[in-house]
Amino acid sequence: MIKPLRKAVLPVAGLGTRFLPATKAMAKEMLPVVDKPLIQYAVEEARAAGIQQFCLVTGRGKTAIVEHFDIAYELESTLRARAKDAELALLREAQLPPGAVVTVRQQEPLGLGHAIWCARAFIGEDPFAILLPDDLVLSETPCTMQLADAYYQTGGCVVAVTEVPREQTNRYGILDIGHEDGRLVEVRGLVEKPRPEDAPSNLSIIGRYVLMPQVLEHLSRMERGAGNEVQLTDAMAKLIGHVPFHGLRFEGRRFDCGDKVGFLEAQIAFALKRPEMAGAVRSFLKNYV
């Protein structure tokens, strides 16, 4: 019996050093793309896939992320008094039901695998999604919904994958693939940040996963991998052969918002999808081309 996918873990403990000084006093996940912070895009994407419970793996200085999804009584009261109904509706879009969000602390920066292990009590014995807010996906069907559909089809782990230039494989987790069935590919192996000459393919995992809880057993051993960190990729690789494991060539375009150029490109792409902004954006872009 395939368990319903209702939980998501969002690792948000990073320092955001690539965006200093903007991230000196503000969490990088609160950086806005057009008018919504990165973390809200991730949560909305997960909710569209039927996910109801969220675990934020946080660090120091990240309280604004939790508050963003809370009720802002004073602000709501002010907007109501000023008859700003549209703004009030936008504010309420970001709110989550009571009990929908829990937080745990990652007290040491020991890698993504360690961050997921910190959420072990939240995960329990259930399948769960992982969304890295730095990866923003513009698509007709939300990326996590695509993964959820593949999970219900296969009953196992599913990771979102995309092709990367061969010379950049040392920046990503890379798949060793077997049988292909449309957009689904069988995963025979995973390698974290291989050198281009050693990479088994150029299919890279992006920051969207649906995993089985058995991955926690391997993470609990705290084995260090690339960068002397606890790598999620290494723990996932040990599930291959024990649970169904597939990569999904997702529909959509991924933006690396942990990179300044990727972040700027996301601003333009998402603005152009907004009917009330697209014309003005196209008009001013002519001045820079």
Residue by residue, DSSP assigns 83-98 as T-HHHHHHHHHT---T
Whole-number percent of the chain with pLDDT over 70: 99
- Residue 277's Cβ-count burial label (10 Å; 0-12, 13-18, 19+) is middle
* Per-residue pLDDT at 16 exceeds 90: no
Comparing C-alpha atoms, which of 209, 192, 288 is closest to residue 247? 209
* Per-residue pLDDT at 185 exceeds 80: yes
* pTM given for the model: 0.92
- pLDDT for position 91: 86
For residue 55, name the pLDDT band (cuts at 50, 70, 90): very high
CA 184 to chain centre: 20
Amino acid, res. 264: L
* Per-residue pLDDT at 224 exceeds 80: no
* Per-residue pLDDT at 173 exceeds 90: no
Mean pLDDT of 171-183: 85
Question: What tokens does 103 get?
Answer: 């937080």
Q: Which helix (H) or strand (E) holds 101?
A: strand 101-105
* Per-residue pLDDT at 229 exceeds 90: no
Q: What is the architecture of the domain spanning 7-288?
A: Alpha-Beta Complex (3.90)
Say which residues have a Cβ less than 8 Å from residue 64's Cβ, sequence separation at least 6. Answer: 26, 27, 30
CB 111 within 8 A of CB 229: yes
Q: pLDDT by residue (tens digit) across 57-91?
A: 998 878 889 888 888 889 999 999 999 999 999 88
Task: Please give the mean pLDDT across all residues of the chain.
Answer: 91
CB 101 within 8 A of CB 93: no
Question: What tokens does 180 get?
Answer: 């292909």
Q: pLDDT by residue (tens digit) across 116-148?
A: 999 999 999 999 999 999 999 999 999 999 999
- pLDDT for position 73: 87
